[in-house]
Chains A and B, each alone.
Chain A
Amino acid sequence: MASLSLKGIQKIYPNGYHAVTDFNLEVADKEFIIFVGPSGCGKSTTLRMIAGLEDISEGEFRIDGVLMNDVEPKDRDIAMVFQSYALYPHMTVYDNMAFALKLRNVPKDEIDAKVREAAKILDLEKLLDRKPKALSGGQRQRVAMGRAIVRSPKVFLMDEPLSNLDAKLRVQMRTEISKLHEKLGTTIIYVTHDQTEAMTLGTRIVVMKDGIVQQINTPEHLYNKPCNLFVAGFIGSPQMNFIDAVVNVDGDKVTLTVGDNVLNVPDEEKQVLIDGGYDGKTVVLGIRPENISDDPAFLVENGDHTVSTTIKVREMLGAEVFLYFDVAGTQMTARVAPDSPLKTGDAAKLAFDMEKIHLFDKETEKNLLHPEW
């Protein structure tokens, strides 16, 4: 297994378009790194540069300290699982998995042992004689994984491997991949635009936007301490609520005015606003749906952090209920308990858990409370 180092990586196309700008990342052995971001953010391009399928315009990419910029893909000792699986349609499952080993002149017995072992791990033993066209989406995906496993490469690269599967199979395969990582102890770099996949699989997540890395950290850190407005909005489902709030500093008391509602800022957060000279200025208040509650006990406890509104839509999801409502013209979402009595059209009083709020600078979009990566 291997460690990876990407320093100042850039991808500039001949027409001058910067697909990736100043990408820096150190990947330790056995890490499961996720590149996540919206379409066109440069995550797949970065992965393809690591694979050697795209040239690196600037910067240095090393595997175990060895510079790889000009090394052919076949000599990088990597394996890749493609979004389309890229199984050779004219070969059987066995031959697909054995192909890379045959090219390396591995003895037949060894190839057979490795293929059968990988097939056992991925439950493909009965499918070895079939051609890809005779397999379901999930089976094809497993063959693509098997093709990567048999080579025992230094690094696994996965480019949105689950995006062609239906929702149920995706959840199932997500667990399989997680188990596989545990079992094989490999370094994996995984590209996805699905933040749920990113949160559940990754040991660290790289959030990208417009070719620029926004934040690199653990899933928990990204969820609890997003460094900017983009990361806060991208990580989490339903996404974090954002609303403009005017800061009022009165001695050591700091409040946020949101429409007709005034919210008291707790001690830990208020110092940042005082020190930053935000008195009278507008900031973006961010709060996750689960930190807004209609629980009567919570409402009593947080009487000075409440908003009055009307429920526009109530969505019952079984284990939880989503309430959609407007505050000062901005739509917000609350995730409440399934026994919540609130219905569509009800007038409601909801309380914000001010200990869990995020405050963002309106101009720079940086998190004022957790500016660090």
Chain B
Amino acid sequence: MERNTISYKSKQFLMFAGPALILFCMVIIIPFIYGLYLTFTSWDGVSAEKPLVGFANYVSAFKDAYFWASMGRTIIYSAFAVIFVNAVAFALAYLVTSGIKGQNFFRAGFFIPNLIGGIVLGYVWKFVFNRAFVAIGAAFTDGTVPSLLSSTGGAMFCLILVSVWQYAGYMMLIYVAGFMGVSDSLKEAAMIDGCTPSQAMRNVTIPLMRTSFVTCIFLSITRCFVVYDVNLSLTNGEPFNSSVLAAMHVYNKAFIYKDFGTGQAEALILFVVCAIIGIAQVYIGKKGEVEA
């Protein structure tokens, strides 16, 4: 068969990329386009009719104070969670690459929380906050101690804490790869050049782990922006809707309040925010890429 023909090349392309392309279209592109179409309708999520309403859903999404409040909460939650997730993950990675005894055991141990589903994790921690901590608090104070989840600030704090517990192990692995990617001879050269361990970390190790930092920070931001499962099982938005994050608000709007069009429009806004973050990650990551 002639190899340099368009039909041969097309067949080759379809053979290798075809299955993945079809799947990608089926589960990403078509639902996305359908979702985009729904933002222009006033569908209630149940009826067969989907009347077109133009940009009315976008107008109501931009006017939805609860949506923007949930977005604000998401930004605050993300800011704290991203800082703590990365700080803890970096510290754990440093610990498990420093040559301590049983470091492989610790690596596996710290990663396990990430394997537990968000729903299960939320219920486990709900029990811990509502029962275990309350019982311990009561034992120490000889009185009744309210659950952290019962106060508005406390619920957000709990969400951040559980997220750190869930994601730190996963991010740790990326930082571990970063630490291991810095050649020993560079660290030794830094020592001979006159660096203390902290100076070597600041001047050599951390700059060379830039890719790990960019990946972890942006990955944790996008994860935090779309968090739903832990939000549902741990606080369910309570108390007084004070812990409703953006994804939960979008879900509630579409499926609880049956305002599918507006919910879908708000979901699209959330998507745009995440897409901007993702593009920024790629841009910043590429810009500062360090090759040996």
Hey, which bits of chain A sit against chain B, CB under 8 A? 51-53, 72-74, 78-80, 82-84, 86, 88-90, 99-100, 103-104, 132-133, 147, 151
Contact = CB atoms under 8 A, between A and B. Distances in A.
Given A74-B193, A89-B291, A103 B199 contact: yes
Interface in B101-121: none
A100 B185 contact: no
Nearest to B292: A89
Given A74-B193, A74-B194, A74-B195, A90 B207 contact: yes
A100 B191 CA distance: 10
A158 to B, nearest CB: 12
B292 A74 contact: no
Contacts of A73: 188, 191-192
Contacts of B290: 89-90
Given A73-B191, A74-B195, A80-B189, 19 more contacts: A51-B192, A52-B192, A53-B192, A74-B193, A74-B194, A80-B188, A80-B192, A82-B185, A82-B188, A82-B189, A86-B185, A88-B186, A88-B189, A88-B204, A90-B207, A90-B210, A100-B193, A103-B195, A133-B291
21 contacts: A51-B192, A73-B191, A74-B196, A78-B192, A80-B188, A80-B189, A82-B188, A82-B189, A86-B186, A86-B189, A88-B186, A88-B190, A89-B208, A89-B291, A89-B292, A90-B207, A90-B210, A99-B193, A100-B194, A103-B199, A104-B194
Contacts of A147: 193
B193 A133 contact: no
Contacts of B196: 74
B193 A103 contact: yes
Majority secondary structure, B binding face: helix
Nearest to B210: A90
Contacts of B192: 51-53, 73-74, 78-80
Contacts of A88: 186, 189-190, 204, 208
Contact of B183 (A74, A79, A84, A133): A84
Nearest to B203: A99
B212 to A, nearest CB: 14
B162 to A, nearest CB: 36
A132 B210 CA distance: 17
Contact of B191 (A74, A84, A90, A132): A74
Nearest to A51: B192
Nearest to B207: A90
Interface in B225-266: none
Nearest to A159: B185
Contacts of B183: 84, 86
A206 to B, nearest CB: 21
A288 to B, nearest CB: 38
Contacts of A82: 185, 188-189
B184 to A, nearest CB: 9
A2 to B, nearest CB: 15
Contacts of B193: 74, 99-100, 103, 147, 151
Contacts of A89: 208, 290-292
A14 to B, nearest CB: 12
Interface in B168-189: 183, 185-186, 188-189
Contacts of B195: 74, 103
Contacts of A104: 194
Identify the 3 closest CB pairs spanning chains A and B, nearest first.
A86-B189, A100-B193, A86-B185
A53 B188 CA distance: 7
Contacts of B186: 86, 88
A53 B193 CA distance: 12
Contacts of B194: 74, 100, 103-104
Nearest to B208: A90
Interface in B127-141: none
Give the one of B186, B191, B194, B208 with max A CB within 10 A. B194
Contacts of A53: 188, 191-192
Contacts of A132: 292
Contacts of B188: 51, 53, 73, 80, 82, 86
Contacts of B185: 82-84, 86
Give the one of B183, B193, B194 with max A CB within 10 A. B193
A132 B189 CA distance: 15
A80 B290 CA distance: 23
Contacts of B190: 88
Nearest to B204: A88
Nearest to A84: B185
Contacts of B204: 88
B231 to A, nearest CB: 39
Contacts of B207: 90
A89 B189 CA distance: 12
A89 B292 CA distance: 5
A303 B199 CA distance: 72
A83 B184 CA distance: 12
Give the one of B192, B194, B196, B290 with max A CB within 10 A. B192
Give the one of B185, B189, B195 with max A CB within 10 A. B189
A51 B190 CA distance: 12
Interface string B61-96: 000000000000000000000000000000000000
Contacts of A74: 191-196
Nearest to B186: A86
B148 to A, nearest CB: 43
Contacts of B203: 99
B285 to A, nearest CB: 14
Contacts of A84: 183, 185
Nearest to A72: B191
A151 B193 CA distance: 9
Contacts of B199: 103
